[in-house]
Chain A
């Protein structure tokens, strides 16, 4: 076992972990933060996306100890931030979700892209969200919601 000191959603976390423990398992099984989902296990689908120091990572392929000394933001943390209301409004207005399994990953990816100023065009939006799979919606509602958040007029 090794010691882990990290910050999750603004709160300090101090735990003994197995060296092999994945960040996704730490969040879901030990901290009860089940908003990040397990699906593909190979960093393709984006359902497990969380932010480490503001950058999106696939927590299914990230060792928990890599979060040591850094800030982890999950959907539960984002949902408590004042800016969340904008995300919620846009996704509700455009019905940018169906089953909801991929939704937290999309929101966190979007937050990172918005903050990095990487959503300047429709192409950038599609490119930025290509690492998140949604099997239900066909993406139109998600892209419309994301476009609204990025201040883009979509064709």
Chain B
């Protein structure tokens, strides 16, 4: 599959075609779920628990029901005709709390009314009495021997658990991922240098600007139809079919444009409660979350981590030992997968004699945590790279040099039985050092950092696409990938146009309607260009093969496509249908994967203001090691977006909890990066080694920067003299650390 790009000339691939959706987005015509209205549509509102852990003593809906304009009120106990539990990994979550609430923000009741204001007013008028239970609000609380159990009984696997057999839960630990390679104790016994530390990583909010939004309509004859702001419509379809006991063909999920996702719209979120409410109301219902509701719908896992790294006196890495605990909140959501991916990222891509990883996914009485861009790698890379830097310092060697000497090279094994390294990491980190001016003198209070990591990318490799050649010679590509801003439709246009020799304006990419677009597992894990793109390429190649056959030896010219269809069908109609399928080579299991290792390499130069603790990022460098850049401009823009989210995550983003409630639940208090937070200089290096499994040697990008940038900022700050083991690097935290260093007499500046 791999093609060396320099040996092939392309007409569309490798060119920065303008986004095919730019016009409608700029004109404000692009439709998002919230922009859609159906005839006779009701508006839904959700009443959420104000307490973190409680038994529901009573619910009185009489005042709410009496309000004019209220159509119906749904409670958990109304769902007695189905098993109301869902969860793609672990089926642990009720659509609405039945007799117990497990986090502040858990849906307790839902109201459908003629307008949104009435629905909200009615939700407020429902009276619920809670008998509070002792909550477990942190992983430490949850792991305590006498901690209350959040979930009793054996865990039930969801439809897409995907990580082998579920074990019995150990207390509040719902999933555990362990790796044990080589003789770990012996590695540490023989080490001249051992670096050890404990680290804390915050929960953050993805803040897709479009909050979770769903319109559901349930009809006796046609089944369930919904418009949903979901990244994975086919997985949502499957979970809804399972929940409501209907065939897959009776659930239709349509996804218009998505207003950002970053993982927050992966898997099933607000869809079940909206469908349940619409089912009771007998009319279409729309639910649009407020920001504070989306914050408790999903977030990134906070984490506590202990790590130690062993090395020889001259900086040869020997062993790494890691334990981490991810706070998955009250329900597992994607926690098990995040735990496994974090475990795979924990050693870092170095040549270890031995390593041991023990990761636990822990229930607490907080909002559920799921996917957020670069999950797992973002959690562990900054820690591992901090320790590699510390080894270099103690060994007295340069931090670039220690990486040159210890990084794996392509083809070396990363995980037993899994995909070996498929990228030139040393070449990548050399690029960063060059762009950063690694050897140049530094100003006072300034430091530089380099960070290298890998992210298991691609998820389960199943994608398909159809290409319809219409009688006017134009092609419609049907593919289930959702357009979340990443530019999938533009890239697919280029791939299909390349394969068929068509100008891109004769290709239309249509997506994400589970009734009409063929199956695509998901839009996430940086998989769409690589896997759905490969399906599109194969569908277009299939069309091409059919055209070649019809042409019967005549040279294929796109202007003749209409004539070839007439030759085939005998009139100016009919169509050719090309089919593209991507499926696993083996079983596609997590252990055999990943589809590819996404490269997380970056660098930073930061300056710290010692009197205030303010950290200013002067330079950021990211590497998009993409095999082949189908659209270089979109690659660069993806990397910049990931880099700035990484900067926000590193410097100031954090969900603050007080008694289990999110204390900073508005954008006034939860700060995300603004234009003024941009670093002074930003460089994205695109590396094209043709080593990806996707079309034209491509592999995915967009997440790597989000893991690499925080790691580079943390290590740059340590280089400036301030080693911090807890994120984010707020001025207060940095200032306090500088004061400690001054008191210890170890402040170098």
Question: Footprint of B on A, CB under 8 Å?
Answer: 20, 28, 33-42, 44-45, 47, 74-76, 79, 84, 87-88, 91-93, 95, 97-104, 107, 126-127, 129-130, 132-143
Contact = CB atoms under 8 A, between A and B. Distances in A.
A87 B22 CA distance: 11
A99 B678 contact: no
Contacts of A97: 19, 22, 25-26
Contacts of B634: 95
Chain B: interface size category = 35 or more
Contacts of B672: 133, 135
B363 interface: no
B648 to A, nearest CB: 9
Given A101-B32, A140-B640, A39 B22 contact: no
B675 A129 contact: yes
B28 A135 contact: no
A126 B211 CA distance: 26
A138 B678 contact: yes
Nearest to A98: B485
A100 B21 contact: yes
Interface in B30-70: 30-32, 34-35
A34 to B, nearest CB: 4
B258 interface: yes
B486 A35 contact: no
A155 to B, nearest CB: 8
Interface stretch (B202-210, B297-305, B350-358, B407-415): B202-210
B98 interface: no
Contacts of B416: none
6 interchain residue pairs of minimum CB distance: A35-B28, A100-B25, A99-B485, A101-B259, A75-B28, A98-B485
A140 B637 CA distance: 8
B199 to A, nearest CB: 26
Contact of B260 (A41, A136, A138, A140): A136
A60 to B, nearest CB: 11
B209 A39 contact: yes
B617 to A, nearest CB: 12
Main secondary structure of the interface of A (DSSP, over half): loop
Given A130-B675, A136-B641, A91 B210 contact: no
Given A99-B208, A102-B209, 19 more contacts: A20-B117, A34-B31, A36-B28, A37-B32, A39-B209, A42-B667, A95-B637, A97-B19, A98-B260, A100-B30, A100-B259, A101-B32, A126-B675, A127-B676, A130-B674, A137-B637, A138-B640, A142-B675, A143-B678
Contact of B209 (A20, A47, A107, A138): A47
B555 to A, nearest CB: 34
Interface in B634-649: 634, 637, 640-645
B293 to A, nearest CB: 11
A132 B16 CA distance: 26
A136 B257 CA distance: 14
A63 B605 CA distance: 46
B29 interface: yes
Contacts of B443: none
Contacts of A107: 26
B641 A98 contact: yes
Interface string B670-690: 001111101000100000000
Contacts of A91: 22, 26
A126 B641 contact: no
Contacts of A74: 28
B637 A141 contact: yes
A2 to B, nearest CB: 16
B261 to A, nearest CB: 8
Interface string B483-521: 011110000000000000000000000000000000000
